[in-house]
Amino acid sequence: MLDATYRAARGRIGALAAGLGDHQLRTPVPATPGWTVHDVLAHLVGGAADVLAGRLDGAPGDSWTGRHVAERRLRPIEELLDEWQRAAPAVESSLPQQHTGPNLAADAICHEADLHEALGLPRTDREHWQPFLDVMGYFPGRRLRDTATLVITDELGQEWRCGSGTSVTVLRADGYELLRGVFSRRSRRQIAAWDWSPEPLGQLVDGFGAFGPRDDDQPIPAG
């Protein structure tokens, strides 16, 4: 499944990137401060190239991702896409058996949405990211255990129940926004503004995202 997900995401991102002009490639990406659209593409390509080369020291930390960008900052988009095409089969063959290290399928899905939001495009299609929401919807309540219960429901009625405590917090939110929050792509203020009952504790908001909290509000694309 992950190999097909990655292959499809690479195809969509590649088609988008191939049609971008220089100005669009220089557009800052709010989800990844300090990076442009070109930088995000460089990271995606660099991650695949590192899997091919077995160069995973430091993955998936900032030094690892930063190297992808630094090594490819001056390369034209056509070269990046060619490199990605050469490296992609190694990523695809590794994904079904992958248990440790960076999940490049999830990374591609996350950064595809980053690019859409940066470029003012509509949100990505639900069928592409729903499998990740199915699993990651449990992440915000991972630390609750027997101290409290968190019940999350999306607009389609899908439910995630975490914890077993008597104190119950209910969150009703759009599925796309939930996943973006879990990917740490929504700010504390944006997450706290969702439909919570009762109002969430700060530690629940701070622990919502897998990559830690953020304070910079993010652009929300049209549905």
pLDDT tens per residue across span 145-179:
788 899 999 999 999 999 888 999 999 999 999 99
pLDDT for res 100:
44
The CA dihedral of 66, 67, 72, 74, to the nearest 10 degrees, is 70
Residue 59 has pLDDT above 90, yes or no: no
The overall longest dimension of the chain from CA atoms, in Å, is 56
Beta strand extents in the chain (DSSP E only)? 149-153, 159-163, 168-172, 195-197
Distances from the Cα of 45 to the Cαs of 53, 111, 154, 216, in angstroms? 12, 12, 33, 26
For range 209-223, the mean pLDDT: 93
Asked, colleague to colleague, whether 2-119 and 128-207 share their fold, the answer is: no
More confident residue, 219 or 163: 219
Whole-number percent of the chain with pLDDT over 90: 81
Q: pLDDT value at position 32? A: 97
Q: What is the mean pLDDT of the chain?
A: 93
Across residues 94-121, what is the average pLDDT?
84
CATH architecture for residues 128-207: 2-Layer Sandwich (3.30)
* Type of residue numbered 65: T
Mean pLDDT of 78-82: 97
Distance of CA 196 to the CA centre of its chain: 23
Domain range 2-119, its CATH number among 2.40.160.40, 1.20.120.450, 2.60.120.10, 3.40.1210.10: 1.20.120.450
Please name the residue ranges forming H helices in 54-152.
62-72, 77-94, 104-118, 126-136
In the prediction, which pLDDT does 102 show? 57
**What band does 99 get if pLDDT is binned at 50, 70 and 90?**
very low
pLDDT at position 179 is 97
User: Which one has a higher pLDDT value, 202 or 60?
Assistant: 202
Question: Which phi and psi (to 5°) does residue 220 adopt?
Answer: -110, 115
Going by C-alpha positions, the residue among 205, 148, 8 that lies closest to residue 88 is 8
Query: CB burial class (10 A; 0-12, 13-18, 19+) of residue 113?
Result: buried
Parse the chain into domains and list their residue ranges: 2-119, 128-207
**Could you report the per-residue pLDDT of 114-136, keeping only the tens digit for each?**
999 999 999 999 999 999 999 99
Short-list 136, 97, 104, CA closest to 5: 104
How far is the C-alpha of 90 from the C-alpha of 88, rounded, in Å? 5
